[in-house]
């Protein structure tokens, strides 16, 4: 979500332009058809009452595949190092965090008294709390509605190692500052926060919430990736944090079919896909019998039905202009069955409000995206990709260079024109995040959301 860099000038993207003529047939699909797709600050504690005043010491987060040694993370601090820590805490508001969370006054008083075990404990605790909040985000999991991203930064930036580094180098601020997200949109939000008066509490809070959302993701998203901001209804193909192409999207309807937030990997491109119709439609809506009873209608829609020995009917929609997945889908295995795909109902991209699908993300100029992905992933040459795309035959192209795909939810961010603006909170996900900013921080937010995984039945007709 950075200002796009104009016309594509990267060789592999040129395939889209060269394929324009070959893809003209794609744009001939009826554009007018009706939509059928379906702590608060503490007094200085003595050694005797420290445990009572600060009962929850910080232990290393548990991360997948690595259990840290048990016990608190404590290093020996010099008073000058604690002074640096206090200075960092006092400036943490610039990153959208609250200095009141980190015991600055107690640390300052203890540091003035000289080295002590109590100082070591309190400084270590607050350093690790800062690591957790800067690395993982301050928002507790229960406030991250339908958030299913496992942040790899918990493995890459271990609290114990960072604390040891900060003490050995005495570069407290530098060690902590390198946890900030690298994406330019985070920098844009940070700059906006700096010029937003505290009196504008609503905007101030919204900026902080969306800065925190960036911390929920990996600090570095990678050299090239797809990223879509659901409330903006836009998908970006991004290289080195620069937008190469943008595509309007149709996303899930509010409610049970709202599109979840994911970080997955695109492993292939399916050109001219088939669609195996879910039983909720085959049986529940009577499609199976209709296909069997009306062969000419079934042929016009590309449906083929099979009655099995048990009486069970399966229906598969063949490739073609009426296929509900359109001319392509991106292979992106995940337990939610969410992926990017084309649609024959392209007139829907003209709507301002495009939360219309069953959860999957329908993508404008999908065949152009598919060809670009196949070439970029070196699954096919330019000519091969165009030939496959226009063959009308089901073809899966596995890509050698996998590409990350991020499905995000930002209600303030940089739009495709490079302007920082707000987006409608179409799923009502802001409220719990905003509320959490007014509550005491929750220690150790490693893990995944325990929200229900709503498996999308691959039902593009349910829009």
Q: Quote the CA–CA distance of 262 and 14 in Å, as a whole number.
A: 29
Region 226-248 average pLDDT: 95
Express as a percent the part of the chain with pLDDT over 90.
74
Q: How confident is the model at residue 63 (pLDDT cuts 50, 70, 90)?
A: very low
Long-range CB contacts (< 8 A, 24+ apart) of 157-161? 157/131, 157/219, 158/60, 158/68, 159/58, 159/60, 159/61, 159/73, 159/128, 159/131, 159/132, 160/60, 160/68, 160/73
Q: Where are the beta strands (DSSP E) in 253-311?
A: 262-271, 275-276, 303-307
Residue 40 has pLDDT above 60, yes or no: no
Question: b/e string for 384-407 if b means 16 or more Cβ within 10 A?
Answer: ebbebbbeeeebebebeeebbbbb
The pLDDT, as a whole number, for residue 62 is 38
Question: What torsion, rounded to 10 degrees, do the Cα atoms 344, 347, 351, 355 define?
Answer: -10
Region 142-150 average pLDDT: 94
Which of 47-56, 166-175, 209-218, 447-456 is least confident? 47-56
Q: Quote the CA–CA distance of 250 and 337 in Å, as a whole number.
A: 16
The pLDDT, as a whole number, for residue 28 is 46
Please answer whether residues 114 and 139 qualify as being in contact, where contact means their C-beta atoms are separated by less than 8 angstroms: no
Residue 414 has pLDDT above 60, yes or no: yes
Q: Which residue has the tokens 């604390």?
A: 163
Dihedral pair phi/psi, residue 67, rounded to 5°: -100, 120
Residue 444 has pLDDT above 70, yes or no: no
Region 307-311 average pLDDT: 91
Long-range CB contacts (< 8 A, 24+ apart) of 25-34? 25/390, 26/327, 26/367, 27/346, 28/321, 29/321, 29/344, 29/346, 30/344, 31/346, 31/347, 32/347, 33/344, 33/345, 33/347
**How many C-beta neighbours within 10 Å does residue 93 have?**
15
Q: Which residue has the tokens 């995206």?
A: 369
Region 105-114 average pLDDT: 98
Whole-Å CA distances, 161 to 56, 127, 167, 316: 20, 12, 10, 54
The pLDDT, as a whole number, for residue 240 is 84
Q: Where are the beta strands (DSSP E) in 230-277?
A: 234-239, 242-252, 262-271, 275-276
3-state DSSP helix/strand/coil percent for the chain, to nearest 5?
35, 20, 45
Region 268-281 average pLDDT: 92
The pLDDT, as a whole number, for residue 358 is 86
The pLDDT, as a whole number, for residue 252 is 96
* Gyration radius of the chain over CA positions: 26
The pLDDT, as a whole number, for residue 281 is 87
- Residue-wise pLDDT for 204-218, tens only, equals 999 999 999 999 999
Region 170-192 average pLDDT: 97
Select from 138, 57, 50, 71 the least CA-distant residue to 101: 138
The pLDDT, as a whole number, for residue 297 is 95
- Residue-wise pLDDT for 132-143, tens only, equals 999 999 999 999
The pLDDT, as a whole number, for residue 402 is 84
**How many C-beta neighbours within 10 Å does residue 201 have?**
10
Q: Which helix (H) or strand (E) holds 279?
A: helix 279-282
Q: List, in order of start, the domains of the chain with CATH numbers.
A: 11-38+223-276+316-422 (2.40.440.10), 50-205 (no CATH), 277-315 (no CATH)
DSSP code of 335?
T
- Residue-wise pLDDT for 350-401, tens only, equals 999 999 998 999 999 999 999 999 999 999 999 999 999 999 999 999 999 8
Residue 30 has pLDDT above 60, yes or no: no
Which of 50-59, 361-370, 402-411, 421-430 is least confident? 50-59
Residue 48 has pLDDT above 80, yes or no: no
CA 93 from centroid of its chain's CA atoms: 24
Express as a percent the part of the chain with pLDDT over 70.
81
Residue 186 has pLDDT above 80, yes or no: yes
The pLDDT, as a whole number, for residue 458 is 55
Q: How confident is the model at residue 448 (pLDDT cuts 50, 70, 90)?
A: low
The pLDDT, as a whole number, for residue 452 is 73
């Amino acid at each position: 979500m950075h200002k796009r860099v104009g016309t594509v000038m990267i060789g592999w993207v040129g395939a889209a332009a060269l394929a324009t003529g070959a893809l003209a047939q794609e744009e001939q699909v009826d554009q007018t058809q009706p939509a059928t797709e379906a702590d608060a600050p503490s007094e200085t504690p003595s050694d005797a009452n420290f445990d009572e005043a600060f009962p929850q010491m910080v232990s290393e987060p548990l991360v997948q595949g690595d259990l840290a040694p048990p016990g608190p993370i404590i290093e020996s601090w010099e008073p000058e190092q604690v002074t640096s820590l206090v200075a960092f805490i006092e400036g943490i508001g610039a990153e959208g965090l609250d200095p009141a969370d980190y015991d600055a006054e107690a640390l300052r008083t203890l540091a003035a008294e000289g080295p002590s075990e109590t100082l070591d404990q309190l400084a270590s605790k607050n350093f690790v709390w800062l690591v957790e909040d800067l690395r993982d985000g301050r928002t507790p999991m229960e406030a991250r509605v339908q958030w299913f991203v496992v942040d790899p930064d918990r493995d890459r930036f271990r609290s114990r190692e960072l604390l040891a580094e900060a003490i050995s180098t005495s570069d407290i601020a530098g060690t902590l500052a390198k946890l900030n997200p690298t994406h330019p949109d985070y920098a844009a939000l940070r700059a906006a926060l700096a010029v937003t008066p505290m009196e504008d509490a609503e905007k101030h809070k919204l900026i902080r919430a969306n800065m925190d959302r960036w911390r929920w993701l990996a600090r570095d998203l990678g050299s090239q990736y797809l990223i879509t901001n659901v409330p903006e209804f836009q998908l970006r193909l991004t290289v080195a944090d620069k937008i190469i192409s943008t595509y309007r999207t149709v996303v899930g309807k509010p409610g049970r079919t709202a599109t979840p937030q994911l970080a997955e990997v695109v492993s292939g491109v399916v050109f001219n896909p088939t669609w195996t119709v879910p039983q909720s439609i085959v049986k529940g809506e009577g499609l199976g019998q209709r296909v069997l009873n009306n062969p000419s209608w079934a042929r016009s829609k590309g449906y083929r039905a099979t009655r099995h020995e048990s009486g069970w009917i399966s229906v598969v929609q063949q490739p073609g202009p009426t296929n509900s997945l359109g001319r392509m889908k991106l292979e992106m295995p995940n337990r939610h069955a969410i992926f990017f795909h084309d649609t024959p109902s392209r007139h829907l991209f003209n709507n301002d409000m495009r939360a219309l699908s069953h959860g999957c993300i329908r993508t404008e100029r999908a065949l152009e995206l598919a060809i670009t992905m196949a070439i970029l992933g070196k699954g096919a040459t330019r000519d091969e990709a165009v030939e496959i795309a226009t063959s009308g035959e089901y073809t899966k192209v596995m890509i050698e260079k996998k590409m990350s795909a991020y499905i995000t939810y930002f209600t303030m961010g940089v739009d495709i024109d490079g302007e920082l603006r707000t987006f409608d909170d179409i799923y009502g996900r802001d409220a719990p995040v905003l509320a959490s900013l007014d509550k005491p921080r929750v220690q150790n937010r490693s893990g995944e959301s325990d929200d229900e995984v709503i498996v999308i039945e691959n039902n593009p007709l349910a829009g």
